[in-house]
Amino acid sequence: MFVNFFIRRPVFTSVCAISIFLLGVISIPTLPTTQYPEISPTQIIVTSNYVGASAEVVETTVTSILERQINGIEGIKYMTSSSSNDGTSTITVTFDASRDKDIAAIDIQNRISLAEPQLPDAVKQTGVTVNKQSNNILLGMGLYSENKEFNNVFLSKYADLYIADAMKRIKGISEARILGEHRYAMRLWLDPNKLATRNLNTDDVVDALNEQNLQVGVG
């Protein structure tokens, strides 16, 4: 019956079609447009580095502690994490697409502040970083020495000092990350018998190392 009404009245049907067309043309300039609309879920990346620690140690002393605090924030869809043997802990928190990135980052930063007293001192010194961008990689670049004059540790340090920061200043790039980063570090093995003869313990050794590695601004 509804279709027959328009079939028997072609003039009325034509007027309605033209009216709808004109309304659409008039409304086009007022429609919101975005060149690259945000259609992917909101992601916040939490990274920290525990220099010299294995993946298992990073998982138990850093990643799991941060995950317990971050879990339960409003709007979280799911959360993934990884702990690597270079001491890096990465937690990816995915929210609903409607969740504001700035508010989500603030909520996570507040939770991290509660967890910081439980983190190792080495992690507190380097800090925990909260980034508001997708974890997807746009471009990968390889750095190598043609004559094998420099090892991987030197190349990693060079990229950290001279390449990563320069790339971050390029318009449109929010983060430049060094995958498989190597850092200069020293691992010490203590002899418990010699420590006992000098009435020392591991805390005394750690305190002595910290005193010899202070960076103080002069002037």
d(CA 99, CA 174): 20
The strand pair at 76-83 and 129-131 is best described as unpaired
205/211 Cα distance (integer angstroms): 10
Provide the pLDDT for residue 13. Answer: 86
Name residue, tokens 């750095």: 143
* Each residue's pLDDT tens digit, 116-170: 888 888 888 888 888 876 656 777 888 878 888 888 888 888 888 888 888 878 8
Strand 76-83 to 43-49 pairing: unpaired
pLDDT tens by residue, 187-219: 888 888 988 888 888 888 888 888 877 665 555
User: Which two three-digit tokens encode residue 109?
Assistant: 């930063």
| CA dist., res. 167 & res. 190, Å (int) | 42
pLDDT-derived band at 27 (thresholds 50, 70, 90) equals confident
Decide: helix, strand or coil at residue 10. Answer: helix
Q: Which two tokens stand for residue 164?
A: 């990563």
pLDDT score at 134: 60
Q: What DSSP assignment string belongs to 158-200? A: HIIIIIHHHHHTSTT------TT-----------HHHHHHTT-
Classify the phi-psi angles of 99: left when phi > 0, otherwise alpha if psi is within -120 to 50, otherwise beta.
beta
Distance linking the first and last C-alpha atoms of the chain: 91
Tokens standing for 39?
């259609």
DSSP type of residue 129? E
Domains of the chain: 43-131 (3.30.70.1430), 137-201 (no CATH)
Beta strands in the chain (DSSP E): 43-49, 76-83, 88-95, 129-131
C-beta of residue 114 within 8 angstroms of C-beta of residue 68 = no
Residues 6+ apart with CB under 8 A from 74: 107
Q: Over pLDDT 90: what percentage of the chain? A: 1
